[in-house]
Chain A
């Protein structure tokens, strides 16, 4: 068995009575781009800060190449980090900001100059070395911060919502840059965001955080196709949940009854929570007909929204639960459809999930 590159073992962090991180376990491969995705307050930043050494965990360990990091102070960990807020040193020029970690390491001047040049080229800011941070846009500042964090070839780069202060267009542009820089440098990146689109776009794998634990780790498609918990199903992609009745279950498959219709062979996830069984359906995986058919859910249209190439049909089932359908624009089933119409919704068993 090989030792994993970076291993987080049972990290827990308490601030007085507040449990910021409950129990986080994670293995990261060298060169991987792993994203922490989760809602506000789920413990993503705290986990990152523990990795950076700004905080010690109440319990647990972090190992880099099999050796614990906890005994090493921040400044000796050699870890790179880009923060949510702009953290360029305000009195230093862009070039001196990037040179800072190298000067601290007392590298010879010609080596520093060469590295600063290389980094400026990497983030495509050649010619900006004499600017002061205050003379740069937010996006440029974060790129300089990235260059500064990569200048000393850290084994791991931490990024805590580095783009959250930027507008959408700029964000997508820099996501692109980050992706390219990751491929170019092959640095291992741990990235924090609460934007699922950003996570899906950037990462090799995503760790979904919820209330201080990781609910599930996997690639985007894995999380979408096979969510382990209701929370993950809600967080990755859109989904609706219908309360259902379990009729039968075996080998991870369930037969359930919803609103008079029976569906068998639906993938089943036992969550161990007593919330009652629920059937999860994704709007883009539902089909819609105007005539009653066997094995379908009857519903009433409550709203129709045009979303460019898609049309979003909001319906309400007979029991009053909301259920959304997304169909391509111009789909025959929705021509002339209007609010209050009765529709019948169907789906393939494999595309749905039962959480019990």
Chain B
């Protein structure tokens, strides 16, 4: 190793300091929000003058918050299922297919990842206006699917590319139909890729706000949109509580992801 941490001398402490500052920089907003959500002040004063769970009970007592959380969850769940299924089919086509412009097509599938989200949102909004999908569950699902699918395709096709097709061929010679071989042998072998696809698809939809603002209606709101909308009306610590719960779920999902992935890989 060119850079041996042990041999850096005093530089080692500088490096450690920079690392700590970076971590703090990334974590502070989260800690800040979490602290405010337990703070007793109406006005989001920091540091909080006292501690309370009031905002959480307010949050859980308000059916509008609960319904938007439920909406978010349903959309994310449907998007996850569709994204994994479509990602699987697409990946098989992209990895195994032998056709012209295969690479070009693959790049095309990944464009939503680099396109500015607001551009995508405006485009989807204009299009859905024409066909009457704005403010509907279907509209939400489709637009979030557009954002989630590239992640799904990326992680599944990566896993599929590393999987030796001969193993599937062996299953077919063993007497399994090509479909059965894929289900019983190939899918379990690339399960870590499928799992990543599911987690990332869920998270993409779960905390997406830009497209969701365009898609939402007064009766159909996702949690991030509700946070945003509430914040614009009045500055209540309930928003901080909602945000903290959002973050908590994300952290739990990521931890689960790391754990299961480790299990699947070994």
Contacts and interface: CB of A to CB of B under 8 A. Distances in A.
Interface of A: 52-54, 74-81, 83, 85, 87-91, 100-101, 104-105, 145, 148-149, 152
26 contacts: A54-B169, A74-B172, A74-B173, A75-B173, A75-B175, A75-B178, A75-B181, A77-B173, A83-B166, A83-B169, A83-B170, A85-B164, A85-B166, A87-B164, A87-B170, A88-B167, A89-B188, A89-B189, A90-B189, A91-B188, A100-B171, A104-B174, A145-B170, A148-B170, A149-B173, A152-B175
Interface in B205-224: none
Nearest to B185: A89
Given A85-B164, A89-B185, A89-B189, A75 B170 contact: no
Given A90-B189, A91-B188, A104-B180, A148 B174 contact: yes
B137 interface: no
B42 interface: no
A205 to B, nearest CB: 24
Task: Enumerate the 8 nearest inter-chain pairs by beta-carbon distance, A residue then B residue, closest first.
Answer: A101-B174, A87-B170, A91-B188, A104-B175, A87-B167, A74-B172, A87-B166, A104-B176
Contacts of B180: 104
A104 B173 CA distance: 11
A52 B173 contact: yes
B173 to A, nearest CB: 5
Contacts of A101: 174-175
A239 to B, nearest CB: 36
Contacts of A53: 173
Contacts of A152: 174-175
A113 to B, nearest CB: 17
B173 A80 contact: yes
A78 B172 CA distance: 10
Contacts of A83: 166, 169-170
A192 B265 CA distance: 33
Contacts of A91: 188-189, 191
Contact of B173 (A81, A88, A90, A105): A81
B22 interface: no
Contacts of A74: 169, 172-173
B177 interface: yes
Most buried by A among B169, B175, B185: B175
A78 B164 CA distance: 22
Contacts of A54: 169
Using C-beta atoms within 8 Å of the partner chain, give the interface range for chain B.
20 to 34
A11 to B, nearest CB: 19
Given A75-B181, A89-B188, A149-B174, 12 more contacts: A52-B169, A52-B173, A75-B175, A75-B177, A75-B178, A87-B166, A88-B167, A89-B185, A101-B175, A104-B175, A104-B180, A145-B170
Nearest to A151: B174
Contacts of B167: 87-90
Given A75-B177, A104-B176, A104-B180, A89 B169 contact: no
B166 A105 contact: no
Contacts of A89: 167, 170-171, 185, 188-189
Contacts of B191: 91
Most buried by A among B166, B173, B175: B173
Nearest to B178: A75
Contacts of B166: 83, 85, 87
A103 B185 CA distance: 13
Contacts of A76: 175
A81 B170 contact: yes
Nearest to A76: B175
Nearest to A81: B173
Nearest to A106: B175
Nearest to B177: A75
Interface in B153-175: 164, 166-167, 169-175
A87 B169 contact: yes
Contacts of A85: 164, 166
B43 to A, nearest CB: 56
A89 B169 CA distance: 11
Interface string B84-119: 000000000000000000000000000000000000
B6 to A, nearest CB: 33
Contacts of B172: 74-75
A100 B188 contact: no
Nearest to A52: B173
A75 B164 contact: no
A98 to B, nearest CB: 10
A284 to B, nearest CB: 40
A150 to B, nearest CB: 11
Contacts of A88: 167
Most buried by A among B172, B176, B191: B172
A134 to B, nearest CB: 8
Most buried by B among A52, A75, A85, A148: A75
